[in-house]
Structure 1
Amino acid sequence: MSNKIAVLGSINVDTTYHMDRFPQPGETLQAKDKSSAPGGKGANQSVACARSGAKTYHIGMVGADQEGQFMRESMQEDGIDTKFVGIDKMHGTGTAMITLDAEGQNDIMVYGGANQAMTTDVLKNTDDLFKEIDFIITQFETPQKVSAEAFKRAKENGVTTILNPAPAKDIDPELLKYTDVIAPNETESALLTGIEITDEDSMIKTAEYFKAKGVPNLLITLGSKGVFYSTPNDHGLVPAFKVKPVDTTAAGDTFIGALTSQLKTDLSNIADALVYAQRASSLTVQKMGAAPSIPTYDEVKAALAESGK
């Protein structure tokens, strides 16, 4: 039985400018190339869930424009159920402008559009959905008020809730109250808690910080160093797979979606699910683009077999 997952989150069209290096303030540089692709943290995570075999529903908003139609069709091609993706006639579909250098590093400017204008109205007609799903995931490219209401409904129906607090900002305590798993990267973690991630002790302190706020489970992604996990029963570090990155866009989104696709709702297989998610993420960074670079279940399993996992 595959997991049933709802992702509440952003839907963007990503435009990437390929550069030798990032421009300095006031400097104009020629781009080597330009490409557009489906993106947005929420949509990327839905794609990662779906490509790893989960029955995936997306809750979100697009504008009444060509980009919105493009994104709905693109998600449907991946088998994602978009009946909970609304159309905002007042705001455009979210867009992101990505600058990518020769080393595979990126910086990103985002226009929130319909994503940021979302209200709890997007949750109407979702009663049956919350009775059906195993997990719900959200991030911070859509309003936290909507996420808090969705997580509250999820908890009323015994659904496991996963918060990816990216990009990092102050968290609504109401949202934390209904969060089962929080999954920042090391930079986001330090911004949210004030605890610099330097060693295992600092990671355990971070887990205690979130437990005090009502969140029992913590994952901190550490880039090339792997991922730290802490549950009420266990904690540990799962190493990363060593690869040469071409484009790090969507690496974190792939990790979250791939992980949730394999995770049991009681988190009893978290170590194995993390290995799968790390492998999926390592494949994503070896290809260009956000959604186009996210691997399928078969691709991840083949890569795991190749690396003897």
Structure 2
Amino acid sequence: MHASVVGSTHVDFYIRVPKLPRPGETVKGKGFVIKPGGKGANQAVGLGRLGIEVYMIGRIGKDYKDFLISNFTRNNVRTDYVFIDEEVNTGIAFILLSDDGENMIAFEPGTDNRLSQADLEKSEEIIRGSRVLLTQLEIPLETVSTALDIAKRHGVTTVLNPAPVQPLPFKVLEHADVLTPNAVEASMLTGIEVSGVDSALEAGRKLLEKGVGAAVITLGARGSVVVRRTDAYFIPAVRVEPVDTTGAGDAFNAGLAYGLMHGKDLVESVRLASIVAGLKVTKMGAQDGLPWLEELEKEKPWLYDQTKPVRIS
């Protein structure tokens, strides 16, 4: 059994600068790197590194085809359904990182905007054979809706990470077995200001009223709240010394899907997700910092005790 990830694949251009430039100002950089990115790609790589057979379903241009395909292959991600666009360039982001931790980002979605319902129909066979389908919102909402609809018709468990957040129609929400917003996203989707466990519980219940099967609301370093129709739990985050929190949410979603792929229930899957995210933030890079299975198995015993669920409803 395999997993499918439907989502974005980007190329990120990073320049480190002493300070962010003002309008019209030129600032001399002191380091430049090119990295693969995109929430879909990050989550697929997260699953591939954890030993899950995972298919990436996305669209890239000819410009960075070899760079991105080889990266997927190194990270155990199947690329049979990564469509090559002959007309449009791959999505890119230009990121300025200052010494004081601030950033400035310009993003052009490129081929992500062209991942279509037709592409998903071509991928229906691989979606149908999946145990879990994982998707996000860096691709057209119509494409997300099609992916969820195909998965639900074939009894596939669906996980929707609603980032970057936007209003979601009932048809999308009702096809999400698990919705995984962070506090800001949960606030925007429900109108409830999420600032802690109690407000996350309230927002989670509101999301269930809107049609989702279950809600997992992440609260950063505090932990996460799992809200189901029968109960709710708070899962503490693991205690680690963070080095780079970039991609922590993508690591969390990959860890959650990893647990579901192994037949764990949602609460146990969130415990695993917390560990995977915790391991990621101890290393640099949205993808480079994602843990491999060997690391998870080595570190899980002592981190697992830190994630004991507390029933809150």
Q: How big is the shift at 1:221? A: 1.1
Question: Which deviates further from its counterpart, 256-265 or 112-121?
Answer: 256-265
Question: Could you say which residue in structure 1 is the equivalent of 2:74?
Answer: 77
Cα pair 1:103 1:246 within 8 Å, conserved: no
Question: Could you say which residue in structure 1 is the equivalent of 2:94?
Answer: 97
- Residues 307 and 208 of structure 1: CA distance in aligned 2, closer, same or farther (over 3 Å): closer
Q: For the residues of structure 2 that align with 1:241 and 1:201, how far apart are their CA atoms?
A: 20
Q: For the residues of structure 1 that align with 2:132 and 2:102, how far apart are their CA atoms?
A: 31
Matched, 1:290 2:282: no
Q: For the residues of structure 1 that align with 2:219 and 2:77, how far apart are their CA atoms?
A: 29
Name which structure has the greater RCO, CA cutoff 8 Å, separation 6+: 1
Question: Could you say which residue in structure 2 is the equivalent of 1:46?
Answer: 44
Matched, 1:63 2:64: no
Question: Could you say which residue in structure 2 is the equivalent of 1:245?
Answer: 242
Q: How big is the shift at 1:247? A: 2.2
Question: Could you say which residue in structure 2 is the equivalent of 1:124?
Answer: 121
Matched, 1:139 2:148: no
Cα pair 1:284 1:293 within 8 Å, conserved: yes
Q: How big is the shift at 1:242? A: 2.6
- Residues 217 and 307 of structure 1: CA distance in aligned 2, closer, same or farther (over 3 Å): closer
Question: Could you say which residue in structure 1 is the equivalent of 2:160?
Answer: 163
Cα pair 1:217 1:231 within 8 Å, conserved: yes
Give the counterpart of 2:31 among 9, 33, 40: 33
For residues 8-62 of structure 1, the C-alpha deviation after alignment (integer angstroms, 9 at most, x for no partner) is 0000111222345545555544333221111110000000011112110011000
Unaligned runs of 5+ in 2: 306-313
Q: How big is the shift at 1:234? A: 2.3
Give the counterpart of 1:275 among 258, 271, 276: 271
Question: Could you say which residue in structure 1 is the equivalent of 2:200?
Answer: 203
Q: How big is the shift at 1:102? A: 4.3
Q: For the residues of structure 2 that align with 1:307 and 1:204, how far apart are their CA atoms?
A: 25
Count, aligned residues:
305
- Show the 5 A alignment for 1:179-258: 179-258=176-255
Cα pair 2:128 2:150 within 8 Å, conserved: no
Matched, 1:88 2:102: no
Identical columns (%):
34
Question: Could you say which residue in structure 2 is the equivalent of 1:173?
Answer: 170
- Residues 108 and 181 of structure 1: CA distance in aligned 2, closer, same or farther (over 3 Å): farther
Cα pair 1:134 1:265 within 8 Å, conserved: no
Equivalent residue letter for 1:221: T
Question: Could you say which residue in structure 1 is the equivalent of 2:308?
Answer: none
Q: For the residues of structure 1 that align with 2:300 and 2:93, how far apart are their CA atoms?
A: 32
Q: For the residues of structure 1 that align with 2:102 and 2:259, how far apart are their CA atoms?
A: 28
Q: TM-score scaled to structure 1, two decimals?
A: 0.91
Equivalent residue letter for 1:236: Y
Question: Which deviates further from its counterpart, 177-186 or 298-307?
Answer: 298-307
Q: How big is the shift at 1:267? A: 5.9
- Residues 103 and 283 of structure 1: CA distance in aligned 2, closer, same or farther (over 3 Å): farther
- Show the 5 A alignment for 1:110-121: 110-121=107-118
Q: For the residues of structure 2 that align with 1:20 and 1:299, how far apart are their CA atoms?
A: 34
Q: For the residues of structure 1 that align with 2:62 and 2:195, how far apart are their CA atoms?
A: 46
SS of 1:124's partner is helix
SS of 1:116's partner is helix
Question: Which deviates further from its counterpart, 39-48 or 115-124?
Answer: 115-124
Q: For the residues of structure 2 that align with 1:41 and 1:103, how far apart are their CA atoms?
A: 25
Q: How big is the shift at 1:106? A: 4.8
SS of 2:114's partner is coil
Q: How big is the shift at 1:279? A: 1.8
Q: How big is the shift at 1:263? A: 1.8
Superposed CA RMSD in Å reads 2.1
Matched, 1:13 2:14: no
SS of 2:107's partner is strand
